[in-house]
Amino acid sequence: MPGLHVTATPIGHLADISLRAVNALAAADEVLCEDTRVTGKLLHRYGITAKLLPYHDHNAAKLRPRILEDLKAGKSLVLVSDAGTPLVSDPGYKLARAVIAEGLPLHVIPGASAPLAALTLSGLPSDRFMFAGFLPEKQGERRRLLENLRKVPATLIFFESPRRITAALADIAEVLGNRDVAVTRELTKLYEEAVRGQAGAVGALLAERETIKGEITLVVSPPGDENPPAAEDVDRALIEASATMPAGKAAAEIAHRFGLARKELYARLIALKDKTAE
């Protein structure tokens, strides 16, 4: 069938591919892929000898005009990513937009997706969720993003590096509150794992490991499902903050951190100070 076929491929286990995807790959005039070695391994597994064309961030703008001309000529092209569903954290969406703008055929062949697989394993609310891509590498940028997402009434899903997962969980616990999370890694592979619990506890558990391997998809519960902070944790934070700033500012800072009322925390801080002074 002529047109661009946006096709999902396995995220780990090579058997997780649909018959329709296999047929589309076998019939394609050309397969657009991120890494020819990765896609070549998949094609070899199913005895497919399609022509591969690298299509990624570094050459996408240059190749798009040629791809559009091929589609206008009636060719059947398949777009895949290294793993999962294309257009999720990859440059494919720009090509899809260009195809639509030119009035050319665009098809989807659905299948494996790491965000949905992680959500399924997490045990967290799945009626409403938001995929937010990769968390920023720098702490300041990461915290700003989390702050922007703090009140989103949905389960949040992120991609994260094993090298930064403990730092990310610490920021989540501080900015979003100690919400329930699920750190999933090596999805559909032999060592598939889901570590569940509150952000702080999961972060501490992972910090004890010598190494953390595998691609990670992180799932965070929505605001309504987070556990209320322990009173002693709030009191400790108030005392620590008031040591370096005025009481009103300290109360506002801790209210923002825990999602509590500033007026109530100010009164609590004054009571703590009075008790200490006795």
**Domain edge (last residue) among 183, 210, 225:** 225
Answer yes or no: do 92 and 129 share one domain.
no
Tokens found for residue 242: 């008031």
Answer yes or no: do 124 and 220 share one domain.
yes
* Phi and psi torsions of 227, nearest 5°: -80, 140
Q: How confident is the model at residue 227 (pLDDT cuts 50, 70, 90)?
A: low
Answer yes or no: do 32 and 99 share one domain.
yes
Answer yes or no: do 87 and 103 share one domain.
yes
Q: Chain centroid to CA 167: how far?
A: 15
As a whole number, the mean pLDDT across the chain is: 93
Could you list the residue range(s) of the whole structural domain that residue 131 is in? 115-225
Q: How confident is the model at residue 226 (pLDDT cuts 50, 70, 90)?
A: low
Please count the structural domains in the chain: 3
Residue-level pLDDT at 76: 98
pTM score over 0.85: no
Residue 225, pLDDT above cutoff 60: no
Answer yes or no: do 105 and 127 share one domain.
no
**Domain edge (last residue) among 112, 141, 161:** 112
Answer yes or no: do 218 and 126 share one domain.
yes
Encode pLDDT of 64-99 as tens digits: 999 999 999 999 999 999 999 998 767 789 999 999
The mean pLDDT value for 104-121 works out to 97
Encode pLDDT of 153-187 as tens digits: 999 999 999 999 999 999 999 899 889 999 999 99
CATH at 78:
3.40.1010.10
Type of residue numbered 276: T
Which letter does DSSP use for residue 144 in this model?
A: H
CATH at 211:
3.30.950.10
Answer yes or no: do 93 and 159 share one domain.
no
Answer yes or no: do 74 and 133 share one domain.
no
Residue 216: closest CA among 122, 81, 118, 126: 118
Answer yes or no: do 97 and 141 share one domain.
no
Cβ within 8 Å of residue 96, ≥6 positions away = 4, 6, 87, 106
